[in-house]
Every structure is written in structure tokens, then in C-alpha cells.
Amino acid sequence: MRVIYPGSFDPITYGHLDIITRCSEKFDEVIIAVLNNNKKNNLFSVEERIELLEKATKHLPNVETDSFSGLLIDYASEKGCSTIVRGLRVVSDLEYEMQMALVNKKLYPDLETLFLVSSSEFSFLSSSLVREVAAFKGDVGCFVPKDVEIALNEKFKGGSK
């Protein structure tokens, strides 16, 4: 079984990596799909986010990283994959995630969205929190892989953006 794990990944955190690792153990193939959305004010470019994801998952042979723009359902049908995985951290994630899953189901009835509950040690963790800590020169070493920490320090070298 092949699954797509879509998101912004701006940047990847240990929370994302936990979901990816667990998916790689349960499914034959995992496609991490980075959303290329110009409207979002991203810190890292799509290319940078892909590079950081590839470095963080290079030990997982059945995981590949790709990007998409437009509707997720169009990308999923193009890939011939009808299973999406999303992570759930806290109850407040559920409202938005359910809305999105139901809209996607309406537009693409074959599509199933599977939710993986975050491991408790990462349930507080988000990319936006990591960006904020890094912007003020806080230590993000326990939230993100080393390559991401280096990339964040590089981004904020001259002060916060």
C-alpha cells in the first residue's frame, strides 16, 4: 500500500519525522508531498524543504519526497494513490482536518484520509513554533534534525526575518 503524507514542512520537525517513520513501517511506500503554495509566507523555499526532508529520511528506503501545487486530490489521482495520511496532535487539529478530509472525499470518493495520533512527546511541536524559537536564537536542537537546525541558524544569522 502506497500513502501520501502532504503538508508544508516549513521546516520538517521530529513530529513529522515520527509520523513518516511510523508510516514507513506500516506501508510499502510513503510519498511526502510538499505543498508549493505561493500564497503562504514560507521561510524555506520548496527546494530547501525537499532537501531537508530528503536528508532527514535518507535512512528510510521506502520514503520519497515530492512537491505539488493545486489540489491534493488532483496530485493523488495523478500519482494513482488514494490514501492520504495526516498527523493529529491535539483535539483542535481535528476540526480543520475533518473538514479537509470530508471535502476531499466529496471531490474524490475513492480517497481515504488516515489519521495518525502524534506521539505524546511531539504533540506540542509545530514548524511555526520552531521558526519562532529559532528567530530569537533559541536552541531548537531537541525539536528538529541537525541539518534543519543548521539551516534555521543560517536563515536567522542576520536577525529575525
The rounded distance, in Å, linking the Cα atoms of 6 and 33 is 5
Question: Cβ-closest residue to ligand ADP?
Answer: 15
Is there a catalytic annotation at residue 127? yes
User: With binding defined as CB under 6 A, does residue 131 bind ligand ADP?
Assistant: no
User: With binding defined as CB under 6 A, does residue 93 bind ligand ADP?
Assistant: yes
Residue in 40, 58, 59, 157 annotated catalytic: 40
Distances (CA, A) of 155 to 7, 37, 137: 21, 20, 11
Structure-block grid coordinates of residue 74: 488532483
The rounded distance, in Å, linking the Cα atoms of 39 and 138 is 28
| Residue from 21, 24, 42, 118 binding ligand ADP (CB under 6 A) | 118
Structure-block grid coordinates of residue 110: 475513492
Q: Which of residues 51-90 bind ligand ADP (CB under 6 A)?
A: 86-87, 89
Sign of CA dihedral 24, 76, 108, 10: positive
User: With binding defined as CB under 6 A, does residue 19 bind ligand ADP?
Assistant: yes
User: With binding defined as CB under 6 A, does residue 125 bind ligand ADP?
Assistant: yes
CB of 20: closest distance to ligand ADP in angstroms?
Answer: 9
Phi, psi of 112 (to 5 degrees): -120, 135
Is there a catalytic annotation at residue 40? yes
Size of the site for ligand ADP (CB under 6 A): 16
